[in-house]
Amino acid sequence: MKQLLNTLYVSTDGAYLRLEGETLVLSVDKVKKHQVPLHHLGAIVCLGRVAISPALMARSMEDGRSIVWLSEHGRFQARVEGPVNGNILLRQAQFRAADRVETALEISKAFIAGKLRNSRNVLLRSARDSKDEAAKTQLVRAAKSLAINLRNLAHAESAASVLGLEGDAARVYFEQFNTMIKPQMREEFEYKGRSRRPPKDTVNALISFLYALLLNDCRSALETVGLDPQLGFFHVVRPGRPALALDLLEEFRAVLGDRLALTLINRGQLRQKDFDLRPGGAVMLNDSGRKTVIMAYQERKKETLQHPVLESQVEIGLLPLLQARMLARYLRGDVEAYIPFFNK
């Protein structure tokens, strides 16, 4: 199994990264702050104002190491890509599949089935962890409701009905988000319904940031296997929108995003002081908050989970790549179905 290479996240404002022998040097105002060996470094993700020397960039392209810039809040900005990338036959298969209504529907349903299964698991896991009987009952009821949507999904015959089932499930799931937050943390972290741009409470600020990191990993995984991240099956194509990366993200939101958010909140690893409240109601993770989240995210990626298809333990961080590959294999006609990632 491919080894999970480390991703270097650089969120230091004004950092400069350069090549020194076989190492990467991070300096701020010409002062050397860190030095890490290039070996084992699979990707460099820059958040905000970070510069990279041409030599480091060239070397990274040669090694197949990706370099991505995200805004400080995680929005994709740019990516540097080396010459060996993209297989036109695979992209052609992807475009043809997207044009075939039935195939597109089949793939969309698989992504959403993954999402519903994993969301259900988050609910059930929280139900097991909860000490409050009423909360337990509520969470289990929501999980059952998701199971019904999942079953109905099997018979969905149009994109609209998939969208309807997904939307309904998301509503039921997010209605329980506060229940999944420990009572003593609810004052600091109250989820007031999904708000994206900008997030209007701490929970939204946190999950939006996690989803952004995850989306970037999905996008990179798709690009690595040669799929076009912009042509989706479930998400409608729109200029500038990484629709396929958003599709792939669906099966990971709960496992990698929500569960991690809940852990960070419930263990008190994040507090109010890790967020900035802006005039007008926008809430954003601040510098210390971002550092905590990135570290936790990196740690989480090293944990392993049982993969349903491969039937072995795989590192969580490898999941987007493994799934992107399986999607590519499906699109090239190697296997009959695309199976999303779900854990038991």
Partner 1 sequence: MSEPLLPIMLSALQHYSYCPRQCALIHQEQTFDDNVHTVRGNLAHERVDSGESGTEYGVRVERSLPLYSERYGLTGRADAVEFLDDGTPYPIEYKQGSRQKKMHDDVQLVGQALCLEEMTGKVVPEGAIFHHKSRRRRAVPITPELREFTIGLIAKVRALLESGQMPPPVDERALCKECSLQDSCQPDLMGNRGRIRRLHERLYDADDEGDA
Residue listed under structure tokens 């954003």: 284
311 binds partner 1 (CB under 8 A): yes
How far apart (Å, rounded) are the C-alpha atoms in residues 144 and 236? 29
- Report the residue count for the chain: 344
42 contributes a contact to partner 1 by CB under 8 A: no
Taking the least distance from each CB to partner 1, the nearer of 236 and 337 is 337
Q: Within positions 90 to 119, which residues make up the interface with partner 1, using CB under 8 A?
A: 90, 109-110, 113, 116-117
Between residue 204 and residue 243, which ones bind partner 1 under the rule CB under 8 A?
225-226
CB of 330 to partner 1, least distance (A): 9
Amino acid occupying residue 181: I
The answer to whether 166 is a known ligand-binding residue is yes
* Binding residue for partner 1, selected from 64, 193, 268, 281, defined by CB under 8 A: 64
Q: Name which position in 16, 232, 325, 341 contacts partner 1 (CB under 8 A).
A: 325
By CB under 8 A, tell whether 170 contacts partner 1. Answer: no
Q: Given the rule CB under 8 A, which of 19-27, 97-105, 151-159, 292-300 is the region that contacts partner 1?
A: 151-159
Taking Cα atoms as reference points, which of 206, 320, 215, 291 lies closest to residue 10?
Answer: 291
* C-beta closer to partner 1: residue 114 or 229: 114
CA-atom Rg of the chain in angstroms: 20
235 labelled binding-site residue:
yes
The answer for 271, left when phi > 0, alpha when psi is -120 to 50, beta otherwise, is beta
3-state SS assignment for residue 108: helix
The amino acid occupying position 170 is A
Q: Three-state SS for 289? A: helix
- The response to whether 62 counts as a known ligand-binding position is no
Supply 317's token pair.
């961080």
The SS3 assignment for 66 reads strand
Binding site for partner 1 (CB under 8 A): 1-2, 64, 84-87, 89-90, 109-110, 113, 116-117, 120, 124, 127, 140, 143-144, 146-147, 150-151, 153-154, 225-226, 308-311, 325-326, 329, 332-337, 339-340
